[in-house]
Amino acid sequence: MSHIHKFSPGANITFSASADVTAGRVLEVTGSREVAHAGAASAKVIGAAATDAKDGDDVLVLRGGVQTLVASAAIPAGSRIITAAAGKVAAAGAGVSGFGIAITAATAADQPVDVALD
């Protein structure tokens, strides 16, 4: 018997959107091969939406590397990153590991921030 990867580690994966999603927002798993915008402090982060998608449509999820995401508030470069509401991101508090690190800064809400995903 042998076993092979269904997807290579870090490979982008197509899911079905279980709600409307926006490109550049963080997504979480909501069901069997389904995703939606991640909620605050989500433990189910799978990656970022490559494109906008309507509920029920396919959406490519970007799973690694550096992604340009949307800040929920100011984020200093070097901060560990967690999810905020609606698939946006925030700086993690002390002792919180998050899912990536900001390599650029955002000075206010709704600004882009480049995040190296773990």
Bridge partner list, 61: 13, 49
Q: How many structural domains comprise the chain?
A: 2
C-beta separation of 40 from 92 below 8 A = no
In this structure, the answer to whether residues 34 and 71 fall within a common structural domain is no
Domain boundary among 47, 62, 77: 62
Task: Evaluate if residue 5 carries a pLDDT over 80.
Answer: no
pLDDT at residue 8, as a whole number: 75
pLDDT, tens only, 24-56 = 999 999 999 999 999 999 999 999 999 999 999
Are 74 and 113 members of one domain?
Answer: yes
> Structural domain of residue 43, as residue ranges?
13-62
Mean pLDDT of 98-106: 97
Look at residue 91 and tell me if it is in a domain.
Answer: yes
Asked if residue 107 and residue 72 are part of one domain, the reply reads yes
Residue 1 has a pLDDT of: 73
In this structure, the answer to whether residues 95 and 77 fall within a common structural domain is: yes
